[in-house]
Structures are given as structure tokens and as C-alpha cells.
Copies of this chain bind each other. A is one copy, B any other.
Amino acid sequence: MRINGQHFETIWVDRNNKEKIKIIDQQKLPFRFEIKTLSTFDDAFSAIKDMTVRGAPLIGVTAAFGLYLAMLGKTNDEGVADYISSVCEKMKMARPTAINLAWAVNWVEKELRGVQSVEEARIISFKTAVKLKEMEVGYSNSIGEHGVRLIEEISKQKNGETVNILTHCNAGWLACIDWGTATSPVYKAHQKGIDVHVWVDETRPRNQGSKLTAYELAQEGVPHTVIPDNTGGHLMQHGMVDLVLVGSDRTTRTGDVCNKIGTYLKALAARDNNIPFYVALPSSSIDFELSDGIKEIPVEQRDDDEVRFADGKEGKTQLAPDGSPVANYGFDVTPSRLVTGLITELGICGASEGEIQRMFGK
């Protein structure tokens, strides 16, 4: 999508040097647009861990390129297999909740199975990372094509009046490679001339909504309004939301959705007000091993300071007094019973084991 009118993806191979990976520094957005270079495994690991890149699909692709950088960093063929499994193991620890991370790493590891030389490992890991990236772009594009039909339908029902969509966190192209997941249907609708408006949850504590979703919607000219996370229920009670569209960091085979903390509260409000609640996700974020999201998905706890301070254009400002403990859970799980449907690259399906199975044949 566009930044200052120019097309960008969130991660790419440097045109002049195949050994350098370029990313947009998402810690700096929306107030500074900076491109960062990843040259080593550690660069990629840190970029994931400190959220310079974030969003399930982008984390996966960054991890894959990070493994490629790890292969570049090894100078001889001794113990290649052990080296591969050790860097793969380490990469998975960068962030525990996003399933794409493990999924992408496992894929690269599988492709590297039996590899004897560093040279071969470099070629294969590079190819795999590039392929993963292309796949994610394709997924996002397809999610948009399927999801836009929901928006078109609401627009028709409203005789062309503005379709108001509420989203939480950033499941935009900045979380992916291009298009996004939850935003992809919105961009497609906007490009088709459908009158859409997005309510953007600011998404404390890290404000991915006000900092990233608002930024990318503004760059594409999509009408939107930033709101505190507390606001959605009130808007829904007053008929000001037609559709809730969010992303997912991990979805169980039964349709439970693990996403940014606070998603569950919006799902409850949508249900209470008969508003459709859809989750847009590539199938790469479905964890077919899990059947009970609330019990089985580990929810990472992040640094207290993200809550104690707000971090904006002018730097950090303290909100909670020193004497008060703070807790910072990264995600919550929305039970499938609250999810109207899943928008995937293969189409839209219900959030149930049966429908997911039918869609993905697993």
C-alpha cells in the first residue's frame, strides 16, 4: 500500500545487496517513517522481540528471512544441521503467542532438512522466505476479495450510506506484507468506491490502532476516527457500527480467536447489539493442534512500562504512580460462539470445527 503516495511492502530484500533485508521501523510510526536494515539473525530476532516488526504474518516472514541471515552468518559447513535446529529453536522464542512465527520457522526448518552445506542452506532459506512472503501477499489479497462482499452487502442494505466498521489493534498491511487482514476488505471496498468509515480502537497499551491503523488508513485516504478502547460498546448501542472486523494472532481448529487484548470485549458488545463480528486471517494463523483457546493458548505478559507510560511523538510520559504495580497481558481469546465468521484466503466460513475442517480439509 502507499506511504506518501509511493508503494511499499513491510519487508523486502535490498535491491542492491541480496544479503540485506529492509523493514519499516514500526516503532517510529506514525511520526517518523524510517527504513531499517537487518543484516544478522540477531537483528531479525530483536526486530520481532521489540516489535520493530509486528503482526502475525509479518513476524512469520521476518523470522524466515532471519533464518536466511543466520545461514549467511555461518562461515563453514561444520555442524550445519545442529546450527539450523538451534537457530530455529531460538527464533521461536522471540514472541510466544503468534502462531505464524512457529509455523514459518517450522516450514523453513523442514525445507532445510538434510542440508549438508551452508551454501545450500542459504539458497534454500532465501527461496523459502521469498515464497512465504509472496504467499502472505496472496493471502491478504484473497482475504480482501472475500471480505469485501460483506461490506458491499451492508452498503446495499443501507442504500449506499456509510458502512461503519470497527477494528481493534492493527491487522493492517503494516502487520502483513501488503493489504493486511482486517483492513484488506476495507481497502478493497474503498477502491471500489463504497462509502466506508473505520472506527479505530487506539489499542492501549502500545497504541497500534492510533499509531499504525490510523496512519495506514490516512495514507490510503480511507475515512476513519480514532477512539479510546472504552468507546466501542457505546457506539454499537447507538447504531454507529455496522461490522466489527479484527485480525487474529492464533485461531484454534474450533474457531476460538486469540488476538490483541481487548478483542473479546468488542466481541461481547457486538453480540449484545446484534452486530456481525468477523475475524480476517490467513490459514497460516490457524493452530490445528488446539481446541480450547482460553485454556491452551499461552498469553504473553509484556513489560510493565508499556502500561505505566504512554509513548508518543514527544517521548514517554508516566501515567501510573511508581508505588502502583501494573499488569500487561498481550492478548485475549474470543470464544468461537461470539465470532460470526472467519474471513480466510479460501473464503468465509463459520467459527466452528466442522466449518473450518470443511474449508481447509484438515
A341 within 8 A of B: no
**Given A204-B230, A211-B319, A237 and B294 contact (CB-CB distance below 8 Å):** yes
**Given A226-B326, A228-B261, A202 and B204 contact (CB-CB distance below 8 Å):** yes
A30 within 8 A of B: yes
Inter-chain contact B228/A325, CB cutoff 8 Å: no
Inter-chain contact A264/B323, CB cutoff 8 Å: no
Number of interface residues of A (CB under 8 A): 65
A311 within 8 A of B: yes
Contacting B at CB under 8 A, from A207-251, are 207, 210-211, 214-215, 217-218, 224-235, 237-238
**Given A205-B228, A228-B307, A265-B265, A215 and B332 contact (CB-CB distance below 8 Å):** no
Contacting B at CB under 8 A, from A287-332, are 294, 299, 307-321, 323-329, 331-332
Q: How far is the CA of A268 from the CA of B338 in the complex (A)?
A: 12
Q: How far is the CB of A217 from chain B (nearest CB, A)?
A: 8
Q: Which of B234, B310, B315, B317 contacts A299 (CB 8 A)?
A: B234
Q: How far is the CB of A186 from chain B (nearest CB, A)?
A: 15
Copies in the complex: 2
Inter-chain contact A233/B31, CB cutoff 8 Å: no
**Given A233-B268, A233-B332, A325-B226, A319 and B262 contact (CB-CB distance below 8 Å):** no
Inter-chain contact B264/A269, CB cutoff 8 Å: yes
Q: How far is the CA of A319 from the CA of B264 in the complex (A)?
A: 23
Inter-chain contact A310/B312, CB cutoff 8 Å: yes
Inter-chain contact B320/A202, CB cutoff 8 Å: yes
Q: Whose C-beta in chain B lies nearest to the C-beta of A168?
A: B230
Inter-chain contact B218/A324, CB cutoff 8 Å: yes
A200 within 8 A of B: yes
Q: How far is the CA of A214 from the CA of B232 in the complex (A)?
A: 25
Inter-chain contact A318/B307, CB cutoff 8 Å: no
Chain A residues proximal to chain B, CB less than 8 Å = 30-31, 199-200, 202-205, 207, 210-211, 214-215, 217-218, 224-235, 237-238, 260-262, 264-266, 268-269, 272, 294, 299, 307-321, 323-329, 331-333
Q: List 19 A-B contacts (CB under 8 A).
A: A30-B320, A31-B318, A204-B230, A210-B319, A211-B319, A224-B325, A225-B325, A226-B320, A227-B327, A229-B262, A230-B261, A231-B262, A231-B332, A233-B264, A235-B329, A238-B294, A265-B266, A311-B317, A312-B318
